Amino acid sequence: MKKQIVLTRRLQEECMYELGQHFELEVVGGDETPKREDLLRSLQGKEALICTVAEKIDPELMEACPDLRIISNYGVGFDNIDVSAANRRGILVTNTPDVLTDATADLTWALMLSVARRAVEGDRLIRNGQWHGWAPHFMLGWDVSGKTLGIVGMGRIGQAVARRAIGFNMRILYYSRTRLKEEQEKELRAQYCDLDELLAQADFVSLHTPYSPETHHLIGHEQLSKMKRTAFLINTARGAVVDEQALIHALQSGKIAGAGLDVFEQEPYVPDELRQMEQVVLIPHLGSATRETRLAMGRKVIENLTAYFRGEKPPYLVNP
Ligand code: DGY
């Protein structure tokens, strides 16, 4: 008999099909985050949950679902799950690393290029019928090639962003909890430095740290005021790594030139101030949103769950 799995969302059709080959599926939320009471009801007597980065899986939920043994996150970041609470209850937590590295790095570049070269602003202008032809001073942006890129958090995604920067002939600085090995630094042409130095020198500061209490508001008033007035902040990590109000203030007062944001503090809420600024490009958390990547993420979820139900250690276990 197939094992029962509760899903908070309906995933891509191919994923649902492949999951359905292994498990009996119960989807609670469709395209929307499910109501808490519906999720709790469905989880009664169930061992396994597939959730996404948009759902908070907190200690109260775990307590209310005593049979829950494995939470399989459809995403690499797992700050939506209280892993310490899961540890205390012996619940396994898994994620989907590696497969979304390139998609997220690509989107980081989409943000960097579009905000520096004013691509989205230009698109808006044409659609509003405000383009009156080529002119020498019209909509000048900033070069990306040959500039200094500051990468904060040099894990898989940070490294993939650095690899792309080599093609743009950029100088690459990075700050990370763990310093890379010398040969990796050479391969990526990346130079380690402290955060203050990175902020002072980078033309583009790109964030790639996981979210945790340590990285909460890592970029606030003080850090933003250390950036160049001509610099751009790019965030494809997690919204709360940046103090959003401090960022709004820095943008309004011209302390930095602009920002490219894929993530926000209270998604899907995006402050009006950000929505009104021309020098900001906003993307609705699409870092991993390609057909290929989401399918690959679904396959990692299957690998984790099939291993668990065979009595093996899931390959992408987050907790010890
Ligand atoms: C992740 O997997 O952490 C991403 O943010 C989801 O797109």
> Per-residue confidence at 158, pLDDT binned at 50, 70, 90?
very high
234-265 tens-digit pLDDT: 999 999 999 999 999 999 999 999 999 999 99
What mean pLDDT comes out for the span 69-76? 98
Closest C-alpha to ligand 1, atom 6: 75
Average pLDDT, the chain: 97
- For the chain, where are the E strands, in sequence order? 3-7, 23-27, 48-52, 70-74, 92-94, 148-152, 171-175, 190-192, 204-207, 232-235, 258-261, 280-282
**Could you tell me the pLDDT band of residue 30, with boundaries at 50, 70 and 90?**
confident
Choose the residue to mutate in 53, 79, 156, 211 for probing ligand 1, maximizing ligand atoms within 8 Å of C-beta.
Answer: 53
Ligand 1 atom at shortest distance from the alpha carbon of 297:
2
pLDDT of amino acid 1: 87
Q: How many CA atoms lie within 13 A of 277 on its CB side?
A: 24
CATH number listed for the domain at residues 3-99+291-309: 3.40.50.720
Q: Is the pLDDT of residue 163 over 90?
A: yes
Q: Would you say residue 31 has pLDDT above 90? A: no
| Residues framing ligand 1 (Cβ under 6 A) | 53, 75-77, 100, 287-288
Query: Above 90 in pLDDT, residue 154?
Result: yes
Topology alike, domains 3-99+291-309 and 101-282: yes
Which of 9, 73, 104, 241 for mutating ligand 1's site (highest number of atoms within 8 Å of CB)? 104
Averaged over 53-78, what is the pLDDT?
Answer: 97
Considering the four listed CATH numbers 3.30.365.10, 2.130.10.10, 3.40.50.720, 1.25.40.10, the one that applies to the domain covering 101-282 is: 3.40.50.720
What pLDDT is attached to residue 320? 80
95-133 per-position pLDDT tens digit:
999 999 999 999 999 999 999 999 999 999 999 999 999
CA distance 217 to 211: 9
Q: What is the pLDDT of residues 138-153, one digit of tens each?
A: 999 999 999 999 999 9
Give the confidence band of 157 by pLDDT, cuts at 50, 70, 90: very high
Peptide bond into 271 cis (omega under 30): no
**Residue-level pLDDT at 102:** 98
DSSP E strands in 181-231: the ranges are 190-192, 204-207
Which residues are known catalytic residues?
238, 267, 285
Q: Where are the domains of the chain?
A: 3-99+291-309, 101-282
Q: In a 3-state reduction of DSSP, which class is residue 51?
A: strand
